[in-house]
Chains A and B, each alone.
Chain A
Amino acid sequence: MSETPQTNPYRDMMGKAFANAIPLNAQFEITYRCNHLCTFCYNSPTGQRELTTPQIFEALKKMADFGVLYLTLTGGEAMCHKDFWAIAAETRRLGMALRVYSNGFLLGDKKVVNRLAKLGPHEVEISLHGARPESHEALTHIKGSFDKTVQALDNLVEAGIKVNLKCPITKLNQDELIGVRDIGEKRGLFVTFDPVITPKDDGNQDPLSLRPDDAFFERYWGELYQELHHGKLPPRANHCAAEGSEANCGTARSGFTIDPYGNILPCVAFRRQVANILEIDSLERIWRTSPVLNEVRDLAVQASDELRKHKDGQYFQFCLGVAEVQTGDPLGIYPQAEVNAGAVRKTYELLQIEDKNDGRKSA
């Protein structure tokens, strides 16, 4: 009656959920509080009052009733919420698989990790901003944060908790990505490098000043990518779209986001307000009838159609949310996406690979 997830039935099931816009994931930004001061943070607190803990519990119940399978607690720094432990426990009590996005600072303490392990989290995602304290802390502006985060990796691995290690690529770490990869691999962890720096949620473009220049990305998508990934080729599709999907990505489809004020958003990047979770009876009805969500789903399909017309269309990794914040148009081609797509195309051309992978897999 059951199959292991690595076989086709798992992918088929995920594809069916994606095609039918059955959301399996929700990201819950439970607070904008944070113990880091990252230069490129995209959060834009408005000064409104954040949800109280009872209101967070109410939101969790609505998400569980809606059938959310994977619930991610994030922020800000989720663990800076004064009731983080109660919220995480409630997530599990309601039967949702718990993911935590964290900067790892507090997880540098073994006692904290052991407490987390008792909740049976599905995984923890940690961001590392460099291979050295100088580069990591130039972004976080917190002395000692590098050592704490690396210690967190050790603690999590030792506790048997699955870790997703991420590294957003910036001018400050672009020359030490191999070192970041090695920090992960030494602990048995795969590192996901994020080549896109996003503007702030309120449209402020300052974080983009940390983006490496175009020449770096030519190199990154060429030999550096393959070196980092042991010979694997760059991806040619959005990581958040199901294989063969007509939609460009999973916004308003595979999941949604709740901000610290309770606003329901199509995803973490596309922050059009749908409704406030405290003001609705159930997510089921709003999910199917919201004009905002339906428009966003249509836009994700239109984006695929538009990208197909572009000369580098098949190489694009395109985010509607970034496009809207950066160009004012969710279908607008923003420079980072275009540069990346062009560089990926060149890599495939250099290797004379078109529709087949020449025996090598793309990551």
Chain B
Amino acid sequence: MSSAPEKPLRHPETAFRTIGDEGGLVVMSGRQEVKVLNPAAIKIFTMLDGEHSREQIAEAIAGEFDVSAEDALKDVNAFIDDLAQHGMLNATP
């Protein structure tokens, strides 16, 4: 796991939208970057509000998608680390 905080907060310069049941888009406004997210990833992204812990997010993912809690937590950690590397998390929530 990276040094991303335990209750991660998405970067304030990100804008995102869920597209039906298909997933969604995240825009890093100042950098003209756009990410396409699958349904699980957009669900995680919406919960990066600085109030939900990684475990709580993983629990929500396991409850909604066909994945064990253990695997969900691995995915959540990997995704959050990826976002952190791309500067899409707020460094100081």
Contacts and interface: CB of A to CB of B under 8 A. Distances in A.
B68 interface: no
Contact of A1 (B12, B22, B40): B40
A1 B82 contact: yes
Interface string B6-47: 000000111111111011111101101111111011001000
Contact of B25 (A4, A24, A95, A96): A24
B75 interface: yes
Interface residues of B, number: 31
Given A16-B22, A20-B20, A69 B15 contact: yes
A2 B27 contact: no
A358 interface: no
B18 A162 contact: no
Contacts of A120: 13, 29-30
Nearest to A6: B34
Contact of A3 (B33, B35, B79): B35
Interface centre among A67, A98, A120, A121 (most CB of B within 10 A): A120
B13 A3 contact: no
Given A5-B35, A122-B32, A67 B82 contact: no
Interface residues of A, number: 28
Given A1-B40, A92-B29, A121-B29, A22 B20 contact: yes
A10 B19 CA distance: 12
A29 B90 CA distance: 31
Interface of A: 1-5, 9-10, 13, 16-17, 20, 22, 24, 67-70, 92, 95-98, 117, 120-123, 162
Given A2-B79, A13-B22, A13-B24, 8 more contacts: A1-B79, A1-B82, A2-B36, A20-B19, A22-B20, A67-B17, A121-B30, A122-B32
